[in-house]
Amino acid sequence: MMAKKYLLGCSLCAGLFLSAAIRTSAQDSQGPIRVNVNLVQLNVAVTDHDGNYVTGLRPQDFAIGEDKIPQKVSTFEEGSEGAVNVVQSAARDNGPSGSSDPQSIDLPAEVAAHASAEKAPQAVASPFTDANVFILFDTSNYMYRGFVFAQDAIAGFIRSLQSSSKIAFYSYSRDLSRSALLTADRQRVLQGVRGTVAGDNAALYNCLLLTVKDAARIVGRKVIVVFSNGPDDASVVPPEDVAELAQSTGTVIYMISTREAQLEPISTAVFERMSKATGGKAYFAKSWRDENKAFAAIRDDLAHLYSISYYPQPNPNRGWRTITVKLVGKDLQKYHVRTRDGYRLQQVKASEEDFAEAGSPETAADPN
């Protein structure tokens, strides 16, 4: 009898030990929590007081802060030109230096005179050179009258983009339709445009959120161009959530809307606030000619954006981080800078495979 009790006690202890081991193993298999702050990429537009683009700026002409912490530029490129590695030296302390020829840039002479070719940055391959453009087209019942004109404007925009850019075409009414996934095949995208038909109520913010999530998976410059003809009357997602996710994933949102939407003050304010927060712009077209002009303006904007990336300096803030981009030097203060104004850290589960492939939590994280 005593032997049976002894064996039973041993069995219970072994069972408890095995159960604890399983729980520990299960907890370990979940992997650590990593914070997605590996690389922050900014799309920056610089314009004068007339709205003309300022070209020829160099990395040292920009001062970037994150929660007022100065950041060091890692890569830099202008428009569709190749990126360059930025050599971190005493350029800020000793004066500007760079590879630009003072006679080949479009800056004022007094600014260009500071340029020097002593330390030329090394050109590197960059995932940010080519744009990944998601077009989101309103096919709700608001679009009945101008449907064909809008299709023509979108088709013209698609044809005008650089051949190296990839394009996705989505449409929405109450639901999102992914008519053409991200591709360099223009004909496939145009077929998606021509295949759209008018639907019912508009759930713009629901469908825009899904589009932002699709764009977030893409490494590189991410742009969403929304064509809307009226207010949202079917979404359950607030526009603030959409804007914050777009900011946190580095996705620029451009809004094109018609005069009917502009007559609705709430939608007008939301469109302008959302596009501005992400570094984009809102356009309100009174006619099909204005629609074409708006698409041309967006194409021009994409061609003149500076793409600047940096690895964040140590920062205890695990919430919303405010980004500031300023121009350095008295002669550049007259220009206007447009970019996103911050991001929220995206926490994701990191598996053991992620760390095995990348070697460390930092390199395992996807670019922001």
In this prediction, residue 165 carries a pLDDT of 87
**According to DSSP H, which parts of the chain are helical?**
2-29, 91-94, 109-112, 147-160, 186-194, 204-216, 239-248, 259-262, 265-278, 288-303, 352-358, 361-364
User: Of 176, 186, 164, which Cα lies nearest the Cα of 226?
Assistant: 176
Task: Identify the DSSP state of 285.
Answer: E
Q: Could you report the per-residue pLDDT of 224-268, keeping only the tens digit for each?
A: 999 988 788 899 999 999 999 999 999 999 999 876 656 778 888
Confirm if 306 and 78 have CB atoms less than 8 A apart: yes
Beta bridge partner(s), residue 221 = 131
Q: Could you report the per-residue pLDDT of 177-218, keeping only the tens digit for each?
A: 999 999 999 999 999 999 998 878 899 999 999 999 999 999
In terms of phi and psi (left: phi > 0; alpha: psi -120 to 50; beta: otherwise), the region of 228 is beta
Write the secondary structure of 112-176 as one string of H (helix), E (strand) and C (coil): HCCCCCCCCCEEECCCCCCEEEEEEEECCHHHCCCHHHHHHHHHHHHHHCCCCCEEEEEEECCCE
Residue 56 is encoded by which pair of tokens? 């020829």
In this prediction, residue 153 carries a pLDDT of 94
Q: CA quadruple 110, 60, 118, 130: dihedral positive or negative?
A: negative
